[in-house]
Structure 1
Amino acid sequence: MQKIILTLKDIGDLIVFKHSVFALPFIFTAMITASFLRDDTPWFGWSLLCFGLVCAVSARNFAMAFNRYMDKDIDKDNPRTANRPSVDGRIGAKNLKIFIIVNALVFIISAYFVNSLAFWLSFPILVVLGGYSLFKRFSELAHIVLGLSLALAPIAGVVAVSESIPLWSVLLSLGVVFWVAGFDLLYSLQDMEFDKNKGLYSIPSIYGDKATMFISAIFHALTFVFWLLFAWAAGLGGWAYLGCVISGVILYQEHRIVRRDFSKIDRAFFTLNGYLGIMFFIFILIDLL
């Protein structure tokens, strides 16, 4: 039993499960919106709830494990990441490969039981999720690719419910793209010097901290605009717009924290962005109810 507990802890350290708080609220925001627009109720059923959770968790497990597997040569030299289970030997390369393959298969099989569009989209989704790990080696667009990876969550959510990709879901996803890319830019400031020395293509290592913070602010301004457009395109009401405005305030506060003190990047990255996703979902749910 002790061995099982330690293994689960190592897997938890590998995939940082608590960061699921970034994607899950937007999957379910898309699902409740699609359900309401189709059936006049935000409840989409227990079956889709279960399959949605399995798809979300397995896709994220695949993405994180694949990233850890591909980045082992980078992570071992970075003091911030040298104690990851994929680096220090707690999870070997063979077990990591098995974990990646199993989660990919679980994701594809679960998508098959959702609907045919979800099944066929599961393959390019896995390609995009794995692509982020490669992009940082040759393009500073890696931040956008990471944003796109999480932005597939609301697209997957609406596909699961309505087997279509309406305009409002695209606008919601574009907001997620720039939200994630914006806070990833701030988070990457921690590794600016390391990325320079390693020859990695991050925006902080190429353009410096001031330019990075400016680009991040632009990205988050676009996030605010796209989420307002989402509320408009979906025909939502005042509570939804209020949720968008509060999201904008949280993003503004995030930038204030980082500008005052770079050592607070972790707080801005996890705490504020975690609250933002949950808060956004709650306001959309209240609006629909």
Structure 2
Amino acid sequence: MFNIFGTKDTGPVADAVKRHWVDTTLPAYLRPYARLARWERPIGWWLLLWPCLWSLSMATVASGQTMPNFWYIFLFWAGAVAMRGAGCTYNDLVDRDIDDKVERTRSRPIPAGQVTPKQALLFLVLQALVGLVVLLQFNTFTIVLGASSLLVVALYPFMKRVTDWPQLFLGLAFSWGALVGWSATMGSLSAAPFLVYAGGILWTIGYDTIYAHQDKEDDALVGVRSTARLFGEKTKLALVLLYGGATVLFALAFYIAGMGWISYVGLLAGAAHLGWQMNALDIDNPDECLRLFKSNTQYGWLLFIGLLLDLWI
């Protein structure tokens, strides 16, 4: 039955976390919006948040401080949740015809009829406004820099139709926080955040290639392109190059920013984690691909803890 918000809950999304608080706690009329924003899947905002926090930690050292700005950490978290939700809502609006043809995504709120496109658009605007309020808390340079990312974000959902490298464009969008995290403290940019940005792009291509292997068969049927389809059986070799390149770029960024040896211990632990991902990967096992993709939250923690310990010790 439709409620006052004009939505209807027809059950959880097929690839969503089962029995999550979205389905057990939220009122039924809010659940479709929560699913649009992927609130039950925090991995997305974690992946958006990590480059911000890495870069913020580096900028803290470069500026001669000994403690990161915890207000900024909160703002980055709030912005990551809001803008990841907005990005997912926008992506679902653009991809609603494709999602209807893919087994894993046809139960998402828009193709399932839980939310109309107009309702989803309104929800997108509301989330973007939250992101704007967060962005306005920073210096002018960071405000302009953050707003500049919207062009890449707007292009990303269309790239899977025209190139085998949509994961590259996801990396351009998801790694933007490496620039913002630095500029929030410094009010400008330098080589170090650009190196983190470049490394983040390679890391993103790697983990999203693993994620895309879940859908490669359906993608082939509907004409969606991806690095998973491009790399195919050579995915592990591609990951060696992508993850290896990301590690080298991060190490160079740490060096330029003046980080101490403990940060490199964290980076080494992160590299070991990426090596475990590559060794465990079975590209024909969708459940394993999803598990390895989600494990990149742990990779983010390894680098961040190393950077924090370097600050404090």
TM-score, normalised relative to structure 1: 0.91
Question: 1:246 is matched by which residue type in structure 2?
Answer: A
Structure 1 counterpart of 2:35: 13
Q: Does 1:220 align with 2:243?
A: yes
Q: Does 1:88 align with 2:135?
A: no
Q: Which runs of 5+ in 2 are unaligned?
A: 1-23
Change (3 A) 1:195 1:6: same
Q: Quick one: distance in 1 between partners of 2:61 and 2:33?
A: 36
* RMSD, aligned CA: 2.2
Q: CA deviation at 1:73?
A: 0.7
* Higher mean C-alpha displacement, 112-121 vs 72-81: 112-121
The equivalences for 1:112-151 within 5 A come to 112-151=136-175
Q: Quick one: distance in 1 between partners of 2:64 and 2:119?
A: 44
Change (3 A) 1:208 1:41: closer
Q: CA deviation at 1:45?
A: 4.8
Question: 2:308 is matched by which residue type in structure 1?
Answer: L
Q: CA deviation at 1:110?
A: 2.9
Q: Secondary structure at the match of 1:86?
A: coil
Q: CA deviation at 1:261?
A: 6.2
Asked whether the 8 Å contact 1:185–1:213 carries over to 2, the reply is: no
Structure 1 counterpart of 2:52: 27
Q: Quick one: distance in 2 between partners of 1:170 and 1:203?
A: 24
The answer to which structure has the higher helix fraction is 1
Q: Quick one: distance in 2 between partners of 1:85 and 1:258?
A: 30
State the aligned residue count.
286
Structure 1 counterpart of 2:189: 165
Structure 2 counterpart of 1:72: 96
| Equivalent in 55, 58, 66 of residue 41 of structure 1 | 66
Question: 2:264 is matched by which residue type in structure 1?
Answer: Y
Asked whether the 8 Å contact 2:210–2:290 carries over to 1, the reply is: no
Q: Does 1:281 align with 2:313?
A: no
Question: 2:273 is matched by which residue type in structure 1?
Answer: I
Q: CA deviation at 1:276?
A: 0.7
Question: 1:169 is matched by which residue type in structure 2?
Answer: P
Change (3 A) 1:79 1:116: same
Q: Quick one: distance in 1 between partners of 2:26 and 2:281?
A: 39
Asked whether the 8 Å contact 2:266–2:303 carries over to 1, the reply is: yes
Q: Quick one: distance in 1 between partners of 2:36 and 2:182?
A: 29
Q: Deviations over 1:25-64 (max 9, x none)?
A: 3312222321232142223253x34433333222222211
Q: Which runs of 5+ in 1 are unaligned?
A: none
* Higher mean C-alpha displacement, 153-162 vs 75-84: 153-162
Q: Deviations over 1:180-234 (max 9, x none)?
A: 11111121112222222212221333x3521333223211111111111121111
Q: Quick one: distance in 2 between partners of 1:165 and 1:260?
A: 38
Q: CA deviation at 1:123?
A: 2.9
Q: Deviations over 1:93-122 (max 9, x none)?
A: 111101222222332343233111122223
Q: Quick one: distance in 2 between partners of 1:210 and 1:216?
A: 11
Q: Secondary structure at the match of 2:185?
A: helix
Q: Quick one: distance in 2 between partners of 1:220 and 1:8?
A: 39
TM-score, normalised relative to structure 2: 0.84
Structure 2 counterpart of 1:200: 224
* Higher mean C-alpha displacement, 170-179 vs 25-34: 25-34
Question: 2:82 is matched by which residue type in structure 1?
Answer: S
* Higher mean C-alpha displacement, 273-282 vs 37-46: 37-46
**Sequence identity of aligned pairs in percent?**
24
Change (3 A) 1:208 1:45: closer
Q: Quick one: distance in 1 between partners of 2:104 and 2:282?
A: 21
